[in-house]
Structure 1
Amino acid sequence: MWIYIAGCLGIGLLAAAMLVVWPRAGLLARWKAARLFARRCQREDALKHLLHQEANGRPVSLESLAGAVQLKTDAAADLMEDLEARGLTRLEDGHFQLTPPGRELAAHVVRAHRLWESYLADQTGVGEREWHAQAEQQEHLLTPEETEALAARLGHPRLDPHGDVIPESGEPLPADVSQSLNTAPLNTPLVITHLEDEPVKVYDQLAAMGLGPGVNVSITERLPHQVKICAQGVQHVLAPLQAQNVGVEVAAEVVRPPQAERFLSSLDLGQKAVVLGLSPACRGPERRRLLDLGFVPGTEVRVAMKSPLGDPVAYEVRGTTVALRQDQARYIRIAEPVALAA
Structure 2
Amino acid sequence: MRPTSNMALRIRARPTASLWCAGLLFLVVSGMAFGQSVQLDLGLPTDNDALFSDDPSRFYMYVDRNFEGVQSKPWSGGRFGFVRDQKRIGSNIIFSKFHEGLDIRPVKRDAAGVSLDEVRSIAAGKVVYINETPSRSNYGRYIVVEHQWGEGPLYSLYAHLASVKSAVGQDVAKGGVLGIMGYSGEGINRERSHVHLELALLLSDRFPEWHARHFTSPNHHGLYNGLNLVGMDVSGLYHSLKADPTMTVSRFVPLTSPYYKVLVPGTVTLDIVKRYPWLIAQGSAGTPLPVSWEITFTDFGLPTAIKPSTQSVSLPKLSWVKKSPINHTYNTLSRVSGIGETGALTESGQRYLQLLTGQF
Normalised-by-shorter TM-score class: under 0.3
Larger Rg, first or second structure (1 or 2)? 1
> Normalized against structure 2, the TM-score is what?
0.24
More helix by share: 1
More strand by share: 2
Higher relative contact order structure (alpha carbons within 8 Å, sequence separation ≥ 6): 2
